[in-house]
Amino acid sequence: MLDRNRLRSWAVIVVLALTLGAAARAEPHKIIFDTDFGICPQDDCYALMLALHSPELEFLGITTVAGNWSLEQGTADVLRLLEIAGREEIPVYAGADMPLMHEPSEYARTTYGSWWSDEAPTEPPGGFAEKQAEDAGAVEYIVDTIEAHPGEVTILAIGPLTNVAMALRHRPGLAGKVKQLVIMGGAVAALPDGAGNMTPGAEFNFWVDPEAAKIVLRSGIPIQLSPLNVSRKSSFSQEWFQRLVATETPFTRLIRERGRVGWDDADPDVVIHMYDQIAVASLIDPTLVTTTELYVDVDASPGIGYGTSYGFTRIWPGAEGAQKMQVQHELDWERFIEMFIERVAKPIPAHP
Ligand code: BDR
Ligand code: CA
């Protein structure tokens, strides 16, 4: 016969464990959101909308970097989005307006992205924001914030890694104080769907600043890498888009006006990959993705492999110094897209 007292003790232990587990889960991730922002339909914009509507994330600040657009354009657009969201209390810090070493080539100017542009930014929808970027720069902000919260801050990096690399170079020892990095970047040929999107091997964020990517990936910070392998498991169709904009909120209005890209009468069945949104979602709910632990390094030498990332189960010649990280490659698409739509489309809550 079962001993009643023992049974009761077990019940207490189970309840305690569940309560502690829930309490631990309830603690939001303190994040610095590092982005080469562009207003919707840019994926950084959708990613920020998702993050802003996720109680699992606590925004410390947003840092901008040149990538999809110039630094000025990205900063103007993110300030405007925060106004649309009613989240003017989140500080924005402008960062690097050029990669560490990469000089814009004819290929860079004509293929994709305008990180190299020095043209004045165009007006975001609804006009330039009244909100201004902070006086401090992104690198100074990242260093000071990590120093102020050692071991507590997650950097969610969804653009070229220039700001993060500069912060690490600026303050030796900083890497040991970063809780973790979630990075959208790279493509890993050792796993399925690992071709590049800028060159045969290189993904855009890593290609724009391969030197920065190499510094950051070798830093020793615990890394969740969200490369093209996992992005390619997404397929955003016109049907999902219609569901997203079925409600009427400031976000869905903006998406409806700006977001219907890629679908036209000639090709209504086209599906679009999602990139930065998946990196954000994986921090909110890690069970949405499947990862494999690999050493990952980046080719930063001039030549045809510039910006290509490589993943392998062991260190190989030339990759001495590479670090192991979690590489995402599978996605629970249905669960992800349901969460994405539900959160992005929900009414914008009032914030203090
Ligand atoms: C990455 O490049 C950028 O264009 C997107 O915003 C994403 O971060 C995908 O390669
Ligand atoms: Ca991006």
Mean pLDDT by 10 residues, the chain (352 residues): 55 50 70 98 97 98 98 98 98 98 97 96 97 98 98 98 98 97 98 98 98 98 98 95 94 89 66 96 98 98 97 97 98 98 90 62
DSSP string, 194-249: ---SSSSSB-HHHHH-HHHHHHHHTS---EEEE-HHHHTT--B-HHHHHHHTTS-S
Is 66 part of a structural domain of the chain?
Answer: yes
State the DSSP code for 128: S
Is 19 part of a structural domain of the chain?
Answer: no
Is 45 part of a structural domain of the chain?
Answer: yes
Q: Which atom of ligand 1 is nearest to the CA of 36?
A: 6
Range of the domain at 164: 29-344
Task: Note the pTM of the prediction, 2 decimals.
Answer: 0.92
Is 8 part of a structural domain of the chain?
Answer: no
What pLDDT score was predicted for residue 23? 45
Is 3 part of a structural domain of the chain?
Answer: no
Is 13 part of a structural domain of the chain?
Answer: no
As a whole number of angstroms, the distance between CA 283 and CA 104 comes to 33
Is 274 part of a structural domain of the chain?
Answer: yes
Number of domains in the chain: 1
Ramachandran assignment for 164, one of left (phi > 0), alpha (psi -120 to 50 degrees), beta (any other): alpha
What pLDDT score was predicted for residue 262? 59
CA angle 47, 51, 54 (to 5 degrees): 145
Report how far ligand 2's centroid is from the alpha carbon of 317 (Å): 31
Q: Is the CB of 206 under 6 A from ligand 1?
A: no
For a substitution probing ligand 1, which of 33, 34, 39, 44 has the most ligand atoms within 8 Å of its CB?
44
> How deeply is 318 buried, as exposed, middle or buried, from its count of CB atoms within 10 A (0-12, 13-18, 19+)?
exposed
Is 71 part of a structural domain of the chain?
Answer: yes
What pLDDT score was predicted for residue 89? 98
Beta carbons of 34 and 181 less than 8 angstroms apart: no
CATH of the domain at 290: 3.90.245.10
Q: Where are the alpha helices (DSSP H) in the chain?
A: 4-26, 43-52, 71-85, 106-110, 138-148, 162-170, 204-208, 210-217, 228-231, 238-244, 250-258, 276-284, 333-344
Q: Which atom of ligand 1 is nearest to the CA of 112?
A: 4
